Structure 1
Amino acid sequence: MTTETIGYARVSTQGQSTDPQVDQLRAAGAERIYCDKMSGVRSDRPGLAEALDRLRPGDTLVVAALDRLGRSVIQVLNTLTDLDHRGVAVRSLREGLDFSTPAGRLAATVFAAMAELERELIRERAAAGRAAAKARGRQVGRPPVLDAEQVDLARKLRAAGESVAAIARIIGTSRATIYRWTEEAP
């Protein structure tokens, strides 16, 4: 039976590139590489699902760093435990550890906890930044689609009996926006 080395790369946003990870995984002997461009928090990552489905007993999964598998301790440990039970070895290039040993599993727990902590700290800093911007009177989040004049016009047209579709065409926005701003559910 031949074994295979499968690589998995992940970045958090569409604007980032998996190329550096892919290069590392190829250099580490990965014959096939699966990629995702989405948060590690999400459990519905198609690239990871394909990689996990492809792995057979005796195969090796290689990742550039353990936090590529997930951002929560439970998520990472569940994946590692599942792979261990299936007879699949896991190598993480950054940590340089063998996760099939007790010491490797302990290290995996520590590294996964650090990834989760990092994610929580990022979330806290972002929330603090939004609160500070809001306190200074700055726009936080997406700017409103309609200005006050357009909202007033939409409400007047709606009160006059104009259809939501017609108002949306007149203002140049979606019907959902008109419903939202005229406080009437679709």
Structure 2
Amino acid sequence: MSTPTHTGHLVGYARVSTGHQTLDGQHDALNAVGVDRIFDDVMSGTRSDRPGLTAALDYVREGDTLVVHALDRLGRSLVDTINTLDALRKRGIYVQALREGIDTSTPAGRMVAGVFASLAELERELIHERAAVAREAAKARGKQTGRPKVLTDEQVGVARRMRESGESVATITKTLGISRATFYRVLTG
């Protein structure tokens, strides 16, 4: 395996999903590799507001290495993890995932991260493709796709008749319980 080329600080990040789990095991692993500082979160990985990770990402600088116990600590999904890895790579920050043995400061580590990036791109394309197929199938069956209509055809007719009889936009929107923007979009669109 290639020798790491760390030039900056080793910064640790640890996360557990619930309050009854402890960070001790992750802290022990991070301290064993000599991290200078550890940032923590005790919350579900599915949450997008992870203040510890945000603080760690703000703290690391070019040449630093962000060390995690496991790669899945960096994101809510494979795509999110890959996006985080890519953003760090663009900033000149390395990532070391202890469980997986990945170190992006080495050629082998960058190759593995590249494979993950390719898998994430494939996953994104498959998601878009499945969604497009589902929309087409629903459309072929005459089902509504996308956002539901705000007004029924009958309500649009009522709005038009009210407007033609001289009612104000304010009266029409109040009567139908819609915004001015919806009124103009429906009647002029």
- Which of 28-37 and 119-128 deviates more? 28-37
Residue of structure 1 aligned with 2:142, choices 126, 137, 146: 137
Residue of structure 2 aligned with 1:77, choices 79, 86, 97: 86
Q: Output the amino acid matched with 1:6.
A: Y
Q: What residue number does 1:150 align with?
A: 155
**Measured at CA, do residues 152 and 24 of structure 1 come closer, stay the same or move farther in structure 2, by a change above 3 Å?**
farther
Q: What residue number does 1:171 align with?
A: 176
Alignment size in residue pairs: 160
SS in 2 for 1:182: helix
1:113 aligns with 2:118: yes
Aligned equivalents of 1:108 and 1:24: distance in 2? 28
Q: Quote the offset at 1:36 in angstroms.
A: 7.7
SS in 1 for 2:155: helix
Aligned equivalents of 1:115 and 1:145: distance in 2? 36
| Unaligned segments of structure 1, at least 5 residues | 10-17, 39-44
Q: Quote the offset at 1:6 in angstroms.
A: 2.5
Relative to the length of structure 2, the TM-score reads 0.67
Q: Percent identity?
A: 43
Q: Is the 8 A contact 1:97 1:104 kept in 2?
A: yes
Once the two structures are superposed, the pairs formed by residues 20-99 of structure 1 within 5 Å of their partners are 27-29=25-27, 31-33=38-40, 37=47, 50-56=55-61, 58-62=64-68, 63-64=71-72, 67-71=79-83, 76-84=85-93, 89-92=94-97, 95-99=100-104
Aligned equivalents of 1:26 and 1:127: distance in 2? 45
SS in 1 for 2:96: strand
Q: Is the 8 A contact 2:12 2:67 kept in 1?
A: yes
Q: Is the 8 A contact 1:164 1:179 kept in 2?
A: no
1:6 aligns with 2:13: yes
Aligned equivalents of 1:76 and 1:94: distance in 2? 16
**Measured at CA, do residues 24 and 137 of structure 1 come closer, stay the same or move farther in structure 2, by a change above 3 Å?**
farther
**Measured at CA, do residues 61 and 68 of structure 1 come closer, stay the same or move farther in structure 2, by a change above 3 Å?**
farther
Q: Output the amino acid matched with 1:147.
A: T
Q: Which structure has the higher relative contact order (CA within 8 Å, separation 6+)?
A: 2
Question: Over aligned residue pairs, what C-alpha RMSD do you find?
Answer: 3.5
Q: Quote the offset at 1:80 in angstroms.
A: 1.9
Which stretches of structure 1, 4 residues or more, deviate above 3 A after TM superposition?
A: 1-4, 23-27, 33-38, 45-51, 56-59, 75-78, 92-96
Q: Quote the offset at 1:68 in angstroms.
A: 2.8
Q: Quote the offset at 1:158 in angstroms.
A: 1.6
**Measured at CA, do residues 183 and 94 of structure 1 come closer, stay the same or move farther in structure 2, by a change above 3 Å?**
farther
Q: Quote the offset at 1:27 in angstroms.
A: 4.4
| Unaligned segments of structure 2, at least 5 residues | 1-7, 31-37
Per-residue CA deviation, residues 132-175 of structure 1 (Å, 9 max, x unaligned), is 01101111112111111111011111222222222110011111
SS in 2 for 1:180: helix
Relative to the length of structure 1, the TM-score reads 0.68
Larger Rg: 2
